[in-house]
């Protein structure tokens, strides 16, 4: 791969926290990038966030 190819964006990621899958689905129906077809392929995967990072949002 050349240097320019390495600089091209090929995806994105967002980490969100919702109390239920239903709440997440509700948000996705209104999320501007989803509604505007910017994000056309969405994979939802559970993950754990280290407690130290959660302290940033208190």
Close Cβ partners of 15 (under 8 Å, ≥ 6 residues apart): 47, 49
pLDDT at res. 24: 95
Q: Tell me how many degrees the CA angle 29-45-23 measures, rounded to the nearest 5.
A: 35
Residue 3 to residue 24: CA distance in whole angstroms: 37
Q: pTM for the complete prediction?
A: 0.66
Distance CA 42, CA 28 (A): 10
Cβ neighbours for 29, distance < 8 A, ≥ 6 positions apart: 35
Tokens 């209104």 locate to 30
pLDDT in tens, 2-55: 666 667 777 788 888 888 999 999 999 999 999 999 888 899 998 888 888 777
Q: Please give the pLDDT value at position 22.
A: 96
């Amino acid at each position: 791969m050349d240097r320019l190819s390495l600089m091209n964006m090929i995806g994105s990621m967002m980490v969100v926290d919702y109390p239920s899958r239903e709440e997440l689905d509700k948000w996705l129906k209104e999320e501007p990038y989803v509604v505007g077809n910017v994000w056309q392929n969405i994979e939802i995967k559970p993950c754990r966030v280290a407690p130290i990072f959660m302290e940033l949002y208190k």
